[in-house]
Structure 1
Amino acid sequence: MDDDRLSAEPLSRAIGSRYLQYALSTIMHRALPDARDGLKPVHRRILYAMRELRLGSTGGFRKSAKISGDVMGNYHPHGDAAIYDAMARLAQDFVIRYPLVDGQGNFGNIDGDNPAASRYTEARMTAMAEALMQGLDENAVDFRDNYDGTLQEPEVLPATVPNLLANGASGIAVGMATNIPPHNLDELVGACLHLIKTPDARDETLLNYVPGPDFPTGGTIVEPRENIAEAYRTGRGAFRLRARWETEDLGRGQWQIVVTEIPHQVQKSKLIEKLAELIQTKKVPILADVRDESADDIRIILEPRSKNVDPDVLMGTLFRQSDLETRFSLNMNVLIDGRTPKVCSLKEVLRAFLDHRREVLLRRAQHRLEKIDHRLEVLEGFLIAFLNLDRVIDIIRYDEAPKPALMREDWGRSFVRATSEADYATPPPGDGELTEVQAEAILNMRLRSLRRLEEMELIRERDALMEERADLEDLLSDEALQWGRIADELRDVRARFGAKTPGGARRTGFAEAGETPDVPIEAMIEREPITVVCSRMGWIRAMKGHIDLSSDLKFRDGDEGRFVFHTETTDKLLILGSQGRVYTLPAANLPGGRGLGEPVRLMVDLPNEAEIVDLFVYRPGGKRLLASSSGDGFIVPEDEMLAQTRTGKQVLNVRGDVVAKVCVPLADGDDEVAVVGENRKLLVFPIAELPEMARGKGVRLQKYKDGGLSDARSFRLSDGLSWLDPAGRTRTEADLTEWAGKRASAGRMAPRGFPRDNRFT
């Protein structure tokens, strides 16, 4: 046992240490992505090899076999099949949200078919992949030796885009795993910009920018918002994802269901097989047939057993028994700084990306500063040569060692630096001797450069570089400027890949689960009287029974009551937002009246910038007068205002500074409309002049020279127009001839005693 290669140690320790090395290698070099660029080593090496092959997004394609061969031979000593599979995944737009490889040929499909062999397909990088490597030649990141020490490869890519969340990642290591869904890049940029502006932003605030994943195959997320918030806060959770479907009318009472989007990572062929199995085993007797009519898009036809089947009941059953609804697990386990595995929150992942962007910015700025200093040194030497041209030529022509002679010569006595094309006044710094770099540059200078025009160009170039150098020094010394530059880069990313670009808009929607039972949900709710109370700040609650509407109610400090009315638990409430969107809220879902209520914005997706214009009980067959602040409006049936999802339904179209202003009910027999503007001019015209619409901008109610609409109401002409005067008394004007006119006219000043707030009630 004299061999130095042999060692004596317990078997358990030897196996344990070697297994630990294997586990660490799997975690760091195979399974977990880097939080900075969102890539695993194999993906990073594929993109870097394609860059070395000059396969830009606007260039030509190369055989995939060539690319995978270069990756395997130069950077990734594993099987070429594994490398090609990883590259093919980067090209599949149904797997990855923003493909990093532009594939030409058969790269597989959503049915689960495998890509063609690497010798049959070709590939190049996409613009997104190029954005990940922007600045790689400017010392933006560290490089390391490849597996055999013959080449260099980047440890991480500069990554101008938050690729980890944009494209997601999945992997299984030893003792840990990761599973990150893709997100919308435009929303991620918005969250990054907010995080730059407010570094201590809360996790809940980021949900206003990143409401949830955005899968490449679309679908609908039906996970409650509070669960999504908890998942992003802890880095662990799950999202319920459903297929998107619609009912197609076939005429004569016949209909069918068309599935247009399926959940992420569900193979269409396997899904149809499962649906066919449900029909054969009669587990879903109300489903008669399933057909695949897909071409480039998804079109799966589901035929009901009878036209009397409720579509919601059918889909609810299929959601429970097939992959038309899946659960995507979130496990945000990533490598921080490329070394430490950690389960991160949404904020931590975005912060890791932003910190990486700042480090890249500083390194690129420092690299550029060094290049400028080197060039300025060369330019100083050129200017010395131009101002002492005869002496320089003499040394080069007659001296046996011109380079040392140029460096020994004292140029300070005869040289003065040029500050402009016609002014040479400021003496140069230093001792007047040339450096080795300057002497070498002078010796390599072409004879054609020895002209006056070239000298002026050198002066202008030097001045421009000095100005750029000053800007870089300011950037390196000012953190605010650094974050401002990063924000500008992110806005450029948004302009290139954001929601307004092809394929950049959000594909995955949000909805309530809304599993419809066999009987209407109203039949399962006990009918009880309640009193709905909603404060001015949007806190809503339901108190049992019909209480006195004039009784004193408690509200939060700084808040007060706004809407108080009687209704029943089986009713539905409609909420009109200032952006013209209407939301439906079942009265039975309101919080109890023991506390101070809950925010309406947690129950429906009412944006923070939108205000509640009106809250009222839905009346089947009822109608409402809707009007905007610009004076446009129309009559809408309340049946058309019902929304099926918490995102609401757009009813009144508004733009710019225009907001929804009026939403009043129409009573039976109302034949006139009264409109008053902020200019206190009153106009009365027949209600027949208003159109009845389900959605739109409407028609002009009243013309304004300045200001806008203040209030409107409908009434019966025979009853006269009533309002509350400043003393709280009801006043009625019977003769309205003076204010009667045609729709869209200006009107006349309101009668004496009309309220100063220009409102009827």
Structure 2
Amino acid sequence: AEAMLEGLDENAVDFRPNYDGRLEEPVVLPATFPHLLANGAAGIAVGMATNIPPHNIAELVDACLHLIKTPDARDDTLLNYIPGPDFPTGGIIVDDRETIAQAYRTGRGGFRLRAKWEVEDLGRGQWQIVVTEIPYQVQKSKLIEKIAEVIQTKKVPILADVRDESAEDIRVVLEPRSKNVDPEVLMGMMFRNSDLETRFSLNMNVLIDGVTPKVCSLKEVLRAFLDFRREVLGRRSQHRMDRIDHRLEVLEGFIIAFLNLDRVIDIIRYDDDPKAALMYEDWSRPHQATIRRATDERDYVSPLLGVDTGALELVDDPEAVARGVLEESAEGGPKIPRRYAGRSEGLSDVQADAILNMRLRSLRRLEELELIRERDALMEERAGLEDLLESEELQWAKIADELKDAKKKFGKDYEHGARRTVIEEAAEIEDVPLEAMIEREPLTVVCSQMGWIRAMSGHIDLTRELKFKDGDGPRFAFHAETTDKILVFAENGRFYTLSAANLPGGRGMGEPLRLMVDLPNEAGIVTMFAYRPGERLIVASAEGNGFVVSTDEVVAQTRAGKQVLNVGDGVAKICKPVAGDHVAVVSQNRKLLVFPLAELPEMTRGKGVRLQKYNAARGKQGVLELDGGLSDVTTFDLDKGLSWAAAGDRTRTEVDMGPWIGKRASVGKLPPHGFPRDNRFTDPDV
């Protein structure tokens, strides 16, 4: 604070009335260091804004000293002294040098600021992450709330807990879900999903001359500060010279008073107008010092004897000037008595006042040598100030000395002088696969007929009897891993994606699937299974249209899912993995058709092609309806034959499928003897 106000009482800056006009305040503060960059600034005005980060004072001073020595220095050279912002809360700036340099060259840009963290070993392979510094202007309480939200929503599933163990220092503990998690992967996800990484925008929009707004580079801001310091130096030096001149004038009067002490005492003691008498007395007469001391008022002879004292009054009277009693000074300043005009033997008004205002006990201290010594010292100081005001080189040298003093006060030896923010380039955060964030563990996914889904630990027996809500029962059950994505295919032709790690645990009845994805109430679930990259699926509608699609094309990134099969007013019916070279289609009117898989196109989205032909028939209401419709589809290897579920948990295989092979979109023939009466190849709910 003292460094910001130094010189304020020495006319270093202009003053203006405050908000109510009762007091005066400085227009700017005469800071001895570049406080605009040191402390930073932020504000929004009409049509403009500014945002400047704080910097290290010692680095700013070094840059200013270099700019004094080399006025044409470039911004890139100044960055050798100022590598970047220095935030009081520390942290790590992870931008590369060119990004930082471009921001300072143009006055616009930004800095990526990350929290500082370390891995704390807990023994036995256990560990935790401790955040010791957080980004600038991030509130710790809100940061912890945000991290807790990330845990609750499972945006970072490998993070188990967050704790605030801070005292005077920052200590935020992040607990991983598993010791096998990579700390770098965990922090990379936290930087992306929380305020452990922020961006500080740079906008050095300032009033460079106090009037005109301008977006300045680093060099322009430092140059403006140095020019301001030179102006402050000139004003302070001139103010000091004025004070010295006043003091020299007083000292000359004191020296005269010391040499003529008895006479001064007589004038003060006996004269009716001692000030005028002191000013009119001719102190240059050789016999002045030998005048006999008056013993009483009768012996005292006033220097004003015979003088019209009315003419000696120091008044501003234009009529007196006109009468010739008073005369203006040569500089057109205050008016002085005409009798004193051009006279140098008497004391000045300032000298007379100083002598009259002296305390009596101070008279004994008026020693001539001391007065002369002080006068000589002041005259020497005044000569130095004159040289300073006349020499630009001396002015910059003085400014450099002041900057060095500021560096000593606020440099490395100062309690808070060392740089706190580390600058180190960091690689961009890459998308981390879910498998890298979650410990791989077996799960059994169970979904009920009413759409309640849960994940039970381990691969349990799928034939085991499970508990469900009253009126509910099993629908889907399959083995998966915690790292798997679960694909859900619905009757509206859309695929929905769930994370197996985010599914509710198996201790309860689970949660409704429709709360996890935007699945319409009227759209039922066709199937669900674990995603396997590169696997091919055959999808088909109840109207008998379908195609082959890769599982890589059906993974959805949002709750809304991904439209794959266009069903129009109909519904999706089939979604099965491709496992063979031929397709078998059976209709509700019990017609079986087999054709090569090669006749079925592979698409990413659409209605598909006709798999089997169905004849139109007149319904009860007179509306044309399909004679049948798609019942089931499967794929198989022709040389191994077609298999289907038979009675008593048996499987029957028909090797010779030649009679049923035909062209795609044909009607087909009745299936072999013993084919299931429900016209399905397998149990649809397993």
TM-score when scaled to structure 2? 0.53
* Cα deviation, residue 453, structure 1: 5.8
Distance in 2 (CA, whole Å) between partners of 1:212 and 1:416 is: 72
Distance in 2 (CA, whole Å) between partners of 1:132 and 1:519 is: 50
CA contact (8 A) 2:260 2:288 kept: no
Distance in 1 (CA, whole Å) between partners of 2:262 and 2:162 is: 92
* Cα deviation, residue 452, structure 1: 7.5
Distance in 1 (CA, whole Å) between partners of 2:167 and 2:147 is: 19
1:326 equivalent to 2:189? Answer no
* Cα deviation, residue 331, structure 1: 0.5
Letter in 2 for 1:476: L
Q: 1:340 aligns with which of 182, 202, 212?
A: 212
Distance in 2 (CA, whole Å) between partners of 1:416 and 1:310 is: 99
1:137 equivalent to 2:50? Answer no
Distance in 2 (CA, whole Å) between partners of 1:490 and 1:510 is: 25
Counterpart secondary structure, 2:235: helix
* Cα deviation, residue 133, structure 1: 0.6
Q: 1:296 aligns with which of 151, 168, 174?
A: 168
Aligned to 2:186: 314
Distance 1:516 1:254, change over 3 A: farther
Aligned to 2:236: 364
Over residues 556-594 of structure 1, what are the superposed CA-to-partner deviations in whole Å (9 max), with x where a residue is unaligned? Answer: xxxxxxxxxxxxxxxxxxxxxxxxxxxxxxxxxxxxxxx
Distance 1:450 1:503, change over 3 A: closer
Aligned to 2:301: none
Distance in 2 (CA, whole Å) between partners of 1:452 and 1:254 is: 81
Q: 1:272 aligns with which of 144, 166, 183?
A: 144
Aligned to 1:670: none
Q: Which moved more, 1:338-347 or 1:170-179?
A: 338-347
Counterpart secondary structure, 2:403: helix
Distance in 2 (CA, whole Å) between partners of 1:415 and 1:143 is: 51
Aligned to 1:503: 416
1:484 equivalent to 2:397? Answer yes
CA contact (8 A) 2:205 2:213 kept: yes
CA contact (8 A) 1:316 1:515 kept: no
CA contact (8 A) 2:59 2:82 kept: yes
1:393 equivalent to 2:393? Answer no
Over residues 330-364 of structure 1, what are the superposed CA-to-partner deviations in whole Å (9 max), with x where a residue is unaligned? Answer: 00111223222211111111111111111111111
* Count of residues paired in the alignment: 381
Distance in 1 (CA, whole Å) between partners of 2:185 and 2:287 is: 92
Q: 1:412 aligns with which of 284, 288, 296?
A: 284
1:437 equivalent to 2:358? Answer no
Distance in 2 (CA, whole Å) between partners of 1:148 and 1:516 is: 54
Q: 2:155 aligns with which of 272, 278, 283?
A: 283
Aligned to 1:350: 222
Q: Which moved more, 1:138-147 or 1:371-380?
A: 138-147
Counterpart secondary structure, 1:246: strand
Over residues 625-684 of structure 1, what are the superposed CA-to-partner deviations in whole Å (9 max), with x where a residue is unaligned? Answer: xxxxxxxxxxxxxxxxxxxxxxxxxxxxxxxxxxxxxxxxxxxxxxxxxxxxxxxxxxxx
1:465 equivalent to 2:337? Answer no
Gaps of 5+ in 2: 290-341, 434-686
Distance 1:273 1:484, change over 3 A: same
Q: Which moved more, 1:163-172 or 1:288-297?
A: 288-297
CA contact (8 A) 1:312 1:516 kept: no
Aligned to 1:228: 100
Letter in 1 for 2:82: V
* Cα deviation, residue 213, structure 1: 0.5
Bigger CA radius of gyration: 2
Counterpart secondary structure, 1:457: helix
Counterpart secondary structure, 1:504: coil
Distance in 2 (CA, whole Å) between partners of 1:452 and 1:325 is: 70
CA contact (8 A) 1:387 1:415 kept: no
Letter in 1 for 2:38: A
1:177 equivalent to 2:54? Answer no
Q: Which moved more, 1:196-205 or 1:285-294?
A: 285-294
Over residues 432-490 of structure 1, what are the superposed CA-to-partner deviations in whole Å (9 max), with x where a residue is unaligned? Answer: 22211112222223333444762222111111111111111111111111111111111
Aligned to 1:237: 109
* Cα deviation, residue 504, structure 1: 1.2
Distance 1:133 1:416, change over 3 A: farther
Distance 1:307 1:404, change over 3 A: same
Percent identity at matched positions? 79
Distance 1:452 1:444, change over 3 A: closer
Distance 1:147 1:299, change over 3 A: closer
Distance in 2 (CA, whole Å) between partners of 1:306 and 1:444 is: 86
Distance in 2 (CA, whole Å) between partners of 1:365 and 1:466 is: 14
* Cα deviation, residue 305, structure 1: 2.3
* Cα deviation, residue 505, structure 1: 0.8
Distance 1:519 1:439, change over 3 A: closer
Q: Which moved more, 1:393-402 or 1:436-445?
A: 393-402
Counterpart secondary structure, 1:353: helix
Distance in 2 (CA, whole Å) between partners of 1:187 and 1:363 is: 27
Letter in 2 for 1:314: L
CA contact (8 A) 2:254 2:366 kept: no
CA contact (8 A) 2:185 2:432 kept: no
Q: Which moved more, 1:494-503 or 1:204-213?
A: 494-503
Distance 1:463 1:304, change over 3 A: same
Superposition pairs of residues 670-689 of structure 1, within 5 angstroms: none
1:454 equivalent to 2:326? Answer no
1:260 equivalent to 2:132? Answer yes
Distance in 2 (CA, whole Å) between partners of 1:297 and 1:169 is: 25
Distance 1:284 1:393, change over 3 A: closer
Distance 1:516 1:145, change over 3 A: closer
* Cα deviation, residue 210, structure 1: 0.6
CA contact (8 A) 1:313 1:517 kept: no
Superposition pairs of residues 637-716 of structure 1, within 5 angstroms: none
Superposition pairs of residues 139-178 of structure 1, within 5 angstroms: 139-178=11-50
TM-score when scaled to structure 1? 0.48
CA contact (8 A) 1:313 1:518 kept: no
Distance in 2 (CA, whole Å) between partners of 1:137 and 1:410 is: 38
Counterpart secondary structure, 1:159: coil
1:250 equivalent to 2:134? Answer no
Counterpart secondary structure, 1:183: coil
Distance 1:416 1:133, change over 3 A: farther
Counterpart secondary structure, 2:12: coil
Distance 1:388 1:219, change over 3 A: same
* Cα deviation, residue 391, structure 1: 3.2
Distance in 2 (CA, whole Å) between partners of 1:246 and 1:362 is: 52
Letter in 2 for 1:279: I
Distance 1:270 1:519, change over 3 A: closer
- Report which structure shows greater RCO (CA 8 Å, sep ≥6): 2
Distance 1:519 1:436, change over 3 A: closer
Letter in 2 for 1:460: R
Distance 1:371 1:416, change over 3 A: farther
CA contact (8 A) 2:278 2:352 kept: yes
